[in-house]
Copies of this chain bind each other. A is one copy, B any other.
Amino acid sequence: MSTEKKYLDLVQKQNHYNQALSLLAWDARTGAPKKGAGQRSEVIGTLSSEVFALSTSNEMESLLTELEASEDTIADITAKSIKESRKEYDRNTKIPAAEFKEYVTLQSQTETLWEEAKDKSDFEMFRPNLEKLIDFKKRFIGYYGEETGHAYNTLLDDYEPGVFVDTIDEVFSDLRKNLVPLVQAVTESAHQPKMDSLLTHFPKENQQALSLDILKEIGFDFSAGRMDETVHPFAIGINPYDVRVTTKYNESDFRVSLFGTIHEGGHALYEQNISPDLIGTPLSSGTSMGIHESQSLFWEKFVGQNFAFWERNYPLLKKHANGQFDNVSLEDFYFAVNQAKPSLIRIEADELTYCLHIILRYELEKALIEGSLAVKDLPHVWNEKMQEYLGVKPANDGEGVLQDVHWSFGAFGYFPSYALGYIYAAQLKEAFTKSNPGFDQLIQQGDYAPIRSWMTENVHQFGRGKKQADILKDTTGSGIDAKPLIQYLQSKYTKLYKL
């Protein structure tokens, strides 16, 4: 058997274990019995250890070394795959095993501690663990090697490979400078949406039927996926032929399930349209968190919150809603679902204010890693920035610095990808519109095929085989640029709020 074939068999085995792990994760979050949690963790532990062992095995190391030496004679997919495997090998072998184990234990303790601290709004309770986690992160950066000029770049590399602090500083600063006054103007506008109609009782079964219709409408392939209920919605690609979305129903606010479903549907369209040629290799997933988020946000915001979408689908909503919107005009409805209002909680934020929540977190994370901000000063700086960027101030740390789970399991470097997703989505939309000027008309007609095809051709099909920078360069001709997003938000909200 050739070295290439041996390597492909090995990563396929990893992939098969990972598929089983994905199913276990989906199952755990969609109705698996509670009492099974302990055994389920053990099964997940055994399979994960096996994947880890394969990724750091002597066999992997020697196959990679051989293939790296003969890069010219191997297939393109293999050449790109070995880069991913090498990165994984390095990450998984550079940290001393004992230290990593200590870190994993701390992660899980801190996540539990965080829940309690959040409930009690008690930052001091959480502080010592957060300090330890940051110390670990700094040491890990040392092990990985800080090759790109800033320690935080090494963390970014886990989520958004190839994007560095200097770029993010520039685009986030551009975004912040433009958003802060716009948010302020919107807040002060006398013209505000009427929200009452949105918050009337909408039975769960009807919301479910609506979500299913809308997923079909945007082109989710139900023969290669399914939709279930969950507490914290997510989409998961077990493989491109089995991609599952989940949603949650709030009978007093149908927006949670409807826009949530479209959001997860966007992630799912990405996963369903990764080239089947990549199945079983490390390339068969989204290329970065930010590009993944660009797909969910593209469908949720640029399609689902588009006036043209509701010109077409408002009758469908009314059908499922059984009369509650009969006296609400399309224009009033559209304004209401696009309400923009500064608020304290990131996951409840609208598209206008969302990125400011992210920028704040990015600035704090970077300062913590640089050492220019001490953990003890975090709540104070958080509150100051909330006031400065959004004009609101948390009454306590539970609705402030303690609101997100991410830091409690050491996920530093993750937050920026949420805002990058918004920026990319706007850039991709602009690029699409250059070759297809009738974007809104397509949506108004429910003719999503050209949009999906364009996304598949330019983004989806490549999986991890094409990096974020190349996707942007080939579609937009440029790098990361906040202008399309700024223009979109300025134009939309100036009009909506009659600024």
Contact = CB atoms under 8 A, between A and B. Distances in A.
Contacts of A223: 33-35
Contacts of A127: none
A32 interface: yes
Contact of A33 (B27, B242, B279): B242
Interface stretch (A15-23, A330-338, A424-432): A15-23
A13 interface: yes
B39 A241 contact: yes
A16 B279 contact: no
Interface stretch (A40-48, A68-76, A258-266, A443-451): A40-48
Tally of this chain's copies: 2
A120 B222 CA distance: 32
A353 interface: no
A124 B17 CA distance: 42
A224 interface: yes
A226 interface: yes
B27 A43 contact: no
A46 B43 CA distance: 16
B35 A47 contact: no
A42 B43 CA distance: 19
Contacts of A285: none
By DSSP majority rule, is chain A's interface helix, strand, loop, or mixed? helix
Given A16-B46, A23-B24, A35 B242 contact: yes
A186 interface: no
Given A16-B46, A23-B24, A46-B16, A39 B224 contact: no
B38 A226 contact: no
Interface string A228-240: 0000000000110
Interface residues of A, number: 34
A90 interface: no
A379 interface: no
B47 A20 contact: yes
- Among A24, A222, A239, A242, which residue has the most Cβ atoms of chain B within 10 A? A242
B239 A33 contact: no
Nearest to A18: B43
A404 interface: no
Given A23-B27, A27-B23, A31-B226, A242 B16 contact: no
Nearest to A22: B43
Contacts of A239: 36, 39
A350 interface: no
A394 interface: no
B35 A16 contact: no
A253 interface: no
Contact of A36 (B24, B33, B35, B241): B241
Contacts of A484: none
Contacts of A20: 20, 23-24, 43, 47
18 contacts: A13-B46, A16-B42, A20-B20, A20-B43, A20-B47, A23-B23, A27-B27, A32-B226, A33-B243, A34-B223, A34-B224, A35-B221, A35-B224, A35-B241, A36-B239, A36-B241, A39-B242, A40-B242
Interface of A: 12-13, 16-17, 19-20, 23-24, 27, 31-36, 38-40, 42-43, 46-47, 221-226, 238-239, 241-243, 279
> What are the 4 tightest A-B residue pairs by CB atom distance, in nearest-first order?
A36-B242, A16-B46, A35-B241, A35-B224
